[in-house]
Amino acid sequence: MSTYSIGIDIGGTNTDIGLVRDDGLCMDKKNLHTNEYLDAKVYVADICSKIKMLMAENKVEAIDGIGIAAPAGNFYTGCIENATNLNFKGVIDLPKLFHEHLDAPVVVSNDANAAAYGELVYGGAKGMRHFVMFTLGTGVGSGIVVDGKLVHGKTGGAGELGHAILIPEGRPCGCGRKGCLETYTSATGIRCTTLEMLEAMPSYDGPLSHVDPEKITSKMVGDAANDGDPLALMVFEKTGYWLGIAMANAVAFSGPEAVFLMGGPVKAGDVLLKPARESFKKHLCFVYDGSVEVRVSELPDNDAAILGAAALTKA
């Protein structure tokens, strides 16, 4: 008999709620606009109403648990702790709020850790004991699995490889420091590299030169690269080079079987993956030669965040 769990992905704009079967199938989904809520208590009450609707509509009487991927989510406390991109500020005790409406275990973590655990439970890392996940989006997150368990560290915030400094005194980062990996290999970083190269190459007359600089996106650059645009290809060569260094450094401290990549920029395909793998091989310490591979997440794009959150209930 199948069992079920709920996966919730909390974003600054939207919250996705999914009913997930134990084989990793997302049965059904609901959505809320996170940015419409100023009160966390009302927000959680509305999420719980959506969960009850999902269960009723799919004739599910019980769930094993509720997994929540949240910005600044702390695995140890179950709280959202001072998230900068949510309207409700301070420390939000999610288990306490959920238990006012539903009697089910609640597990909370950040989105990158959830993605890593989703890969372990439902994706390409099934059967692996050691791997690292990099999530490339507006920022860069990471989840580290060692001996089959997520690494949380003392505070619950271990694995912030997006905020490891790649280039000392480099680009300013939202964390307050300079030169973090996130500022170079995120979608935001790709856009920044593109603008820098457009400025440095005034004679360039390609598709990106005819777009308002304010409207250039990482996807736009990826599409141009796949169409053979030389400037866009150079942007992804640089991005892949930087990403390869970060992956090689991650291997040096955790000795994984694989490094997984997921997120919008990864969808550009080989224009990013080829230079990233080449840079990874170039910078990898020789003791790890042949022991680790770079792979793309096998979680389905549309349900990856929900599956990652639901997988936390298996932690």
Angstrom distances, CA of residue 120 to CA of 178, 197, 235, 273, 299: 32, 38, 31, 21, 10
Place of tokens 């996807």: 219
Q: Give residue 295's pLDDT.
A: 98
- The per-residue pLDDT for range 177-225, each reduced to its tens digit, is 999 999 999 999 999 999 999 999 999 999 999 999 999 999 999 999 9
Mean pLDDT over the full length of the chain: 95
Q: Give residue 108's pLDDT.
A: 96
Alpha helices in 35-181 (DSSP H): 40-57, 94-98, 111-122
> Which whole number is the average pLDDT over 60-75?
94
> How far is it, in rounded angstroms, from Cα 190 to Cα 114?
24
Note whether 26 and 19 are within 8 A (CB). Answer: yes
Residue 154's Cβ-side half-sphere holds a number of Cα atoms within 13 Å equal to 0
> Which whole number is the average pLDDT over 119-133?
96
Q: Give residue 8's pLDDT.
A: 97
Tokens of 259: 């490094």
Note whether 124 and 295 are within 8 A (CB). Answer: yes
Q: Which residues pair with 172 in a beta bridge?
A: 178
> Which whole number is the average pLDDT over 53-64?
96
Nearest CA among 84, 53, 68, 61 for reference residue 16: 68
Percent of the chain with pLDDT over 90: 90
Q: How confident is the model at residue 12 (pLDDT cuts 50, 70, 90)?
A: confident
Q: Give residue 174's pLDDT.
A: 87
Residue 140 clears pLDDT 90, i.e. is over it: yes
Please state the pTM of the whole predicted model: 0.92
Q: Give residue 31's pLDDT.
A: 95
Q: Give residue 311's pLDDT.
A: 94
- The per-residue pLDDT for range 281-290, each reduced to its tens digit, is 999 999 999 9
Q: Give residue 156's pLDDT.
A: 86
Q: Give residue 100's pLDDT.
A: 97
Q: How confident is the model at residue 302 (pLDDT cuts 50, 70, 90)?
A: confident
Q: Give residue 70's pLDDT.
A: 93
Q: Give residue 83's pLDDT.
A: 85
Q: Give residue 82's pLDDT.
A: 87
Tokens of 133: 């996940």
Q: Give residue 34's pLDDT.
A: 94
Q: Which residue has the higher pLDDT, 126 or 156?
A: 126
Q: How confident is the model at residue 71 (pLDDT cuts 50, 70, 90)?
A: confident
Residue 262 clears pLDDT 90, i.e. is over it: yes
